[in-house]
């Protein structure tokens, strides 16, 4: 007696299921073999910081592994602390609303040796101010943030990329950038 032959339709379904399972197995094997490389790439991407090399002479930046510095521009939000040029470090009023940038994660001012903001070739603000730069006022904020205030440049507002360099007393240098408005100063 001959064994019963499977129904052709059932045979087709079983064949397709075996093929699908086989394909899934191959895809799973491929994924498992490349997964460690994908995880390494993801980890290295997450630990990199955004750094740009400025065009003018600034301290050389080191890769930032201990501080995550985020700059948030508040543009001209009503404060007038800074003056044009360098003053004696005390806050003054010029009658022009300052540009305002908040540095989140900067730490405490006592840890900071120098902060510089630049855009373009000539526009340069510094804390503590040293001639010929313009004054940059730094005020300690909440939770390790630092608020930066500086005179806007020019009479026409324009969108610019501010390059911010923070040099810590420990020797660490951190660079970040933020897009904001500059102008309406005179």
pLDDT at res. 60: 45
> What would the pLDDT profile of 32-75 be if each residue is shown by its tens digit?
656 566 555 555 444 444 444 344 444 444 444 467 899 999 99
**What pTM, to 2 d.p., does this model score?**
0.61
Q: Note the CATH number of domain 70-182.
A: 2.60.40
Residue 19 structure tokens: 């093929």
Residue 86 structure tokens: 């360098």
């Amino acid at each position: 007696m001959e064994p019963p032959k499977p129904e052709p339709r059932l045979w087709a379904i079983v064949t397709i299921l075996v093929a699908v399972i086989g394909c899934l197995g191959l895809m799973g094997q491929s994924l498992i073999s490349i997964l460690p490389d994908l995880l390494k790439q993801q980890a290295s991407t997450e630990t990199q910081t955004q750094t740009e090399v400025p065009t003018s002479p600034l301290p050389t930046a080191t890769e930032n592994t201990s501080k995550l510095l985020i700059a948030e521009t508040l543009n001209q939000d009503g404060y007038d602390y800074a003056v044009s040029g360098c003053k004696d470090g005390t806050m003054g009023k010029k009658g022009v609303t300052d540009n305002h940038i908040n540095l989140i994660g900067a730490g405490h001012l006592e840890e900071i040796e120098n902060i510089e903001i630049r855009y373009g070739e000539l526009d340069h603000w510094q804390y503590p101010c040293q001639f010929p730069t313009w004054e940059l006022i730094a005020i300690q904020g909440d939770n390790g943030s630092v608020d930066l205030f500086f005179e806007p440049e020019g009479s026409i507002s324009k969108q610019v990329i501010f390059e911010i360099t923070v040099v810590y007393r420990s020797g660490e240098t951190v660079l970040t950038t933020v897009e904001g408005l500059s102008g309406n100063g005179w």
